[in-house]
Amino acid sequence: MNKVKVITDSCCSLTPQQLEKLGVDYVSMDITVNGVTHNSFDYPIKDYEEFYEVLEKAESCSTSCINTFTFEEIFEKYVKEGFDVFYVGLSGGMSCTNNNALKAAEEVNERHGKHIWVADSLTGSYTIAFDVEKAKQMADEGKSAQEIYEAIHNNGLKTFAIFAPGDLKFLRKSGRISKFVASIGSMLKIVPVITANDKGELKLFSKSIGRKKALATIQNFCLQHADLESEGKMIVGHTGQKAEAEQLAEFLKQHTKNKQISVEYIDYTMGCNCGPKTLSVFGFLR
């Protein structure tokens, strides 16, 4: 049985240094801010707070999916080195990246035999990181790429990601909502709370008048749906709302046996879509 190489993308919110330490390779999306494009892992601003301050003032921002050529190149590299490959990245319901990975895997498998397995996380950011860490653990235990795929494909149905954006204009810029809805929502001070459906597509969970009510909705969601009994991870993610994120983490610690609750920045790619001042929670469902 071949060794397994785990690959992910830049939407997992782990840094290149963290991925390298895990022994996981990656492909990275491009982000375009004010018409200037950079690879998201090579963006010239390295400080998260500074990046999100710049993004808040930006006239435009966008992200691009990873093309099939990039996937074929990295998949074939590892197959030629004698590996089987397991890939998991951003939900197929949120980006064409997953579909491009599937197309590339089909091409490489046709040339070399079945060596590539592509899973759909049905999610984004740190819930992808949960999948990546589990996949690497299974690979280290000697599990096959197919066994890892069977354990992780559609694993997003067992995890949750819930967030409240800071400004609706970024969801509009990324095409998630219309310009009209964004303008009306901003005028009425509506703060949407958003999750993903069983297809990995973003869906509106609730609409709150004001930030405090939106955060209370996230708290209540966690109390009702999160696995609060186990010692599994839970991450409070944010895009420049550290104090608010730390308060939410303390609230969760008071209501759960789970003490592995950390406060982390969301990666630049996902941050360009949800925007600055976003607050989120990533964890496992009951």
Q: Is the pLDDT of residue 190 over 80?
A: no
DSSP run (H or E) holding 19: helix 16-22
Residue pair 40/10 in contact (Cβ under 8 Å)? The answer is yes
pLDDT interval class at 179 (50, 70, 90): very low
For residues 16 and 252, give the distance between their C-alpha atoms in angstroms, rounded to a whole number.
Answer: 29
**Rounded Cα–Cα distance for residues 42 and 62 (Å):** 16
Mean pLDDT of the chain: 90
98 three-state secondary structure:
helix
What would the pLDDT profile of 132-169 be if each residue is shown by its tens digit?
999 999 999 999 999 999 999 988 789 999 999 876 66
280 closest CA partner among 224, 203, 208, 214: 214
Kindly state the DSSP code that residue 12 receives in the 8-state scheme.
Answer: G
Q: Which domains does the chain have, with CATH numbers?
A: 3-29+65-156 (3.40.50.10440), 159-284 (3.30.1180.10)
> Where does residue 35 fall: left (phi above 0), alpha (psi -120 to 50 degrees), or beta otherwise?
left
The reported pLDDT for the residue numbered 169 is: 64
Check pLDDT > 90 for residue 122. yes
Taking only the tens place, the pLDDT of each residue in 205-249 is 888 888 899 999 999 999 999 998 887 889 999 999 999 999 999
- DSSP code, position 49: H
Among the listed ranges 99-113, 118-132, 167-181, which one has the minimum average pLDDT value? 167-181
Residue 148: per-residue pLDDT: 97
Tokens read off for 93: 């319901």
> What are the tens digits of pLDDT across the range 14-24?
999 999 999 99
Give the confidence band of 172 by pLDDT, cuts at 50, 70, 90: low
- By the 8 A CB rule, do 42 and 34 touch? no
State yes or no: pLDDT of 182 exceeds 70.
Answer: no
Residue 4 has pLDDT above 90, yes or no: yes
When pLDDT is averaged across residues 77-104 and rounded to a whole number, the result is: 97
